[in-house]
Structure 1
Amino acid sequence: MKTKDILIGAGVGFLAGYALKEYTNKDQISPEKALKTVKENIQDHIPVNGSWIHMTPESYKKDDLEYNVYRGGISSTKEGETKQMDFIVDAKTGTILELTS
């Protein structure tokens, strides 16, 4: 019965940790969703060939306001020329705060 007790304890611990992680991250969207939002918003204006995003949000200050943000980038090829653009997106809403080439 000791093995059974250990497995039950490990299972309960895992579920509690997972639930706590999900509860604490509710106020932020996932980095994958933030990247998808950025690509959807700029796809009509800029053809996107590649993209990347940092998986860990960071603190960012703009116009005396504090944000938790994800940083990332996209690459675009237009008329044979590849261009790299960096973006900063709000981790709560997915709003693009900055897009620079």
Structure 2
Amino acid sequence: MKGKYFLLGLGLGIASTYLLSSQLKQCPISSDRALELVKKAFKEKGPIDGSWIYTIPETFSNDHLSYQVYKTGISRTVNDHLEQYEAFVDTKTGAIVHVEKIA
């Protein structure tokens, strides 16, 4: 009798673990994590002066594809000139899908 309850509990545990893991994989990255990824990518090319992020995702279309993205910005000084960039980070994967120099 106790063996049946053990197996039932084990089965329910395995099933709930499977369902939870599939749900957790679909969670979008946080805006803070998106900004960290962009800052890390820009720091590979040199120091940055400042950064910002819109915390509400928006839709970005590029080459006939649409993404839910966080819009971020980076500023840096290169040869005594201020450079500013906008970067768009996919909310699902964390990939930088577009970078644009704005100043």
* Equivalence for 1:69: 69
* Letter aligned with residue 92 of structure 1: K
Partner of 1:82: 82
Number of aligned residues: 78
Distance in 1 (CA, whole Å) between partners of 2:87 and 2:46 is: 13
Q: Structure 2 unaligned segments of length 5 or more: list them.
A: 1-22
Identity of aligned residues (%): 37
Letter in 2 for 1:90: D
Give 1:56 deviation, angstroms: 0.1
Taking structure 1 as the reference length, what is the TM-score of the superposition?
0.69
Alpha-carbon RMSD across the aligned residues, in angstroms, is 1.7
Distance 1:29 1:37, change over 3 A: same
1:28-60 CA-partner distances (Å, limit 9, x unpaired) = 101110000011112111421100000000112
**Separation in 2, partners of 1:82, 1:27:** 36
- Residue 81 of structure 1 and its aligned partner are, at CA, apart by 1.3
1:28 paired with 2:37, answer no
Q: Residue 97 of structure 2 aligns with which residue?
A: 97
In the superposition, the TM-score normalised over structure 2's length comes to 0.68
Does the Cα contact within 8 Å between 1:47 and 1:78 map onto a contact in 2?
A: no
> Which amino acid in the other structure matches residue 93 of structure 2?
T
Distance 1:66 1:80 in 2: 37
Aligned partners of 1:63 and 1:46: how far apart in 2? 29
Larger-Rg structure:
2
Corresponding residue of 2:3: none
